[in-house]
Amino acid sequence: MIEKRLKYYLILPAFIIFLSLAIYPLFFALRGSFYIWRYGMPAQFVGLKNYIDLFKSSFAWNALQNTIIYVILAVFLELIIGLVLAVLMNRELGFFRPVVRTALTIPMFVSPIVVGIIWRMIYNPHYGLFNWLLGTQGFAPTGNEYALFFVVLADVWQWTPFMYVIILAALQSIPPEILEAGEIDGTTGWQKFIHITLPSISYAIIIALTLRFMDATKALDLIYTLTYGGPGGGTETIGFLIFRTAFNDLNIGSATSFALIFTIVMGILITRFLGWLNRRFEIV
């Protein structure tokens, strides 16, 4: 049976790529994480020391805390603003809606590196738009203890359209009969929204939240050009800390141990969640 084998041959190239570029490097990293290994110097086996140090490292806990705040705040704001926008735009607006949708689509596709630059200009304490809008001058949002919130703001700027586009599409695919049935039953606008509209778009919202959650957790490029993790680690996320440990401090052993724990935790969370999602909505 050639057909029986053909299906395996067809997926073989993809799996060779995955195995050689993801799985092999992971094992490579796993081995490296047991060594004190500064790039360019001989490695020294230390067992679990890197992992133990990690739990004692104040940098790691600080980055974890920053990442959690960043992700929750950014994704929450994006959801709320995106939802409000989508509900407002879900009506007959003629040519207006496609124009706005296209315009709002642009920030999503701009490289986070460029977004970081743009917002660095906006937050410039002497000439930036931010100070101008607030009517102040000299306030440096990326140089104070609230810097993390201003990084979140840049993320919200870039990614709110993502929520908006997905939620609007979901709103438009609700069959009108369902909403009309609600009107006949005499439900008010708000009740209709809570009991009919929201449940109908819950799947879209869950998918959008999942994807944003995943991407925000990995945030690195935006921070690289906007704050470079500063001031004093105030905007350092897990991704950025690993990057800095590996490529600035050249401390490969420590960085790989952190990266592995990060990957495993994320992997468990997400595959569990996808499994649940698949049982509930049959996505595959």
Partner 1 sequence: MVNTAIILIIAVFTILYLLPIYWMGITSFRPEAKSMSWPPNFSPTGLVMDNYRVVFEQKSIFWYIRNSLIASITSVIISLVIGCVTAFSFAFMRWKAKTKTSLLIWIISLRIMPPIAAAIPLFLIFARLRMIDTFPALILAYTFFNLSFVIWLVYGFFKELPREIVEAGLIDGCSYTKLFTRVVIPLTIPGIMTVTLLTFIASWNEFLFAVKLTAFSTRTIPVLISGFMIDRGLLWGQVSAVGLVSIIPVIIVALFIQRYIVSGLTFGAIK
Instruction: List Cα–Cα distances, 241 to 17, 63, 86, 226, 265, in angstroms.
Output: 28, 7, 36, 15, 16
Minimum separation from the CB atom of position 113 to partner 1 (A): 5
Minimum separation from the CB atom of position 137 to partner 1 (A): 7
Minimum separation from the CB atom of position 50 to partner 1 (A): 13
Q: Which is nearer to partner 1, 148 or 240 (CB)?
A: 240
Minimum separation from the CB atom of position 194 to partner 1 (A): 21
Q: Which is nearer to partner 1, 124 or 187 (CB)?
A: 124
Q: Which is nearer to partner 1, 6 or 184 (CB)?
A: 6
Minimum separation from the CB atom of position 145 to partner 1 (A): 22
Q: Which is nearer to partner 1, 104 or 196 (CB)?
A: 104
Q: Which is nearer to partner 1, 169 or 178 (CB)?
A: 169
| Cα–Cα distance for residue pair 275/281, rounded to 1 Å | 10
